[in-house]
Amino acid sequence: MQELGCSTWCLMDRELPDVLEILSARTGTVEILSEAAHDILYCSEACFSFDLRYTIHSPTADINIASCREPIRQASLGLLREVCGVAGEIDARCVVVHPGFSPWIEMLDRSYLALRESLGDLAAIQEEYGVPVAVENMGSWEVCHFRDPSFLPALREAGLSFCLDLGHANLNGALDEFLAVGNPLHVHLHNNNGSDDSHRALGDGDIDLARVLSLLPRNASRIVEVQTLEAYDESIRFIAEAGRGSNRYTGDGNNK
């Protein structure tokens, strides 16, 4: 079973080399959120200094693959192509991509058509660089696409993978359905109370994470996506104490 990796989101105020050093003492798997000081297009050389397995979360700001404005959609895909190129260089397991949104609910159908076109473009990028693209389910904001499992057939048709975000699925009341039919390649782990996307530690919310971990595909990579390093450490302790550890946690604060 896969260990519990950590997203660099919990240390966004630090430079990536420092973050990788801190996290490498806790886990062998790190997801780099390619934003701010962790923008993988500018600091990928740091990855070669550590014996880590990587996944990449593509940028979330200034990007929308479901934009009805074709120049914006194309620019977003161009950026994702660059990210996937770097992901291939560092041998990343996958690149996580948000499915985009419509800024106006009245344009949601048009935006969805743009998203479907982008899936084909992402499949071509995936083939070009040999790194799986995993599209992430979104939270409860109504202008977002991919909030329930009905979008999964479109991903399969395009040959793309699925990133299951447990907290987002919980906000939409769709977690059990996703677990039943989703078969994710990659999983984002965090907790919430079902009403806000708070990215809490695994034991702090109404998701039964110990139960959920036992229902995930054994080969799915797992990233704890919380806002602070303390919340990551708390999450690892919670899973260890629950007796459902899917990692090599030793009980001394080390997940390696």
Predicted pLDDT of residue 252: 35
pTM: 0.93
Query: What is the percent of the chain where pLDDT is above 70?
Result: 94
Which position has the token pair 């907790």?
Answer: 191
Q: What span, in angstroms and rounded, lies between the C-alpha atoms of 143 and 4? A: 31
**Positions in the chain whose pLDDT score sits under 50:** 244-254
pLDDT at 2 (0 to 100): 76
> Could you tell me the residue ranges of all domains in the chain?
4-241
In the prediction, which pLDDT does 119 show? 98
- How far apart, in whole angstroms, are the C-alpha atoms of residue 4 and residue 1? 10
Q: What separation in angstroms does the CA of 28 have from each of 109, 164, 168, 202?
A: 41, 21, 25, 19
3-state secondary structure labels for all residues of the chain: CCCEEEEHHHHCCCCHHHHHHHHHCCCCEEEEECCHHHCHHHHHHHHHHCCCEEEEECCCCCCCCCCCCHHHHHHHHHHHHHHHHHHHHCCCCCEEECCCECCCHHHHHHHHHHHHHHHHHHHHHHHHHCCCEEEECCCCCCCECCCCHHHHHHHHHHCCEEEEEHHHHHHCCCHHHHHHHCCCCEEEECECCCCCCCCECCCCCCCCHHHHHHHCCCCCEEEECCCCHHHHHHHHHHHHHCCCCCCCCCCCCCCC
Residue found by looking up tokens 């009980």 in the block: 251
Place of tokens 């895909």: 77
CATH for 4-241, options being 3.40.50.300, 3.20.20.70, 3.20.20.150, 2.70.170.10: 3.20.20.150
- What was the pLDDT predicted at 148? 97
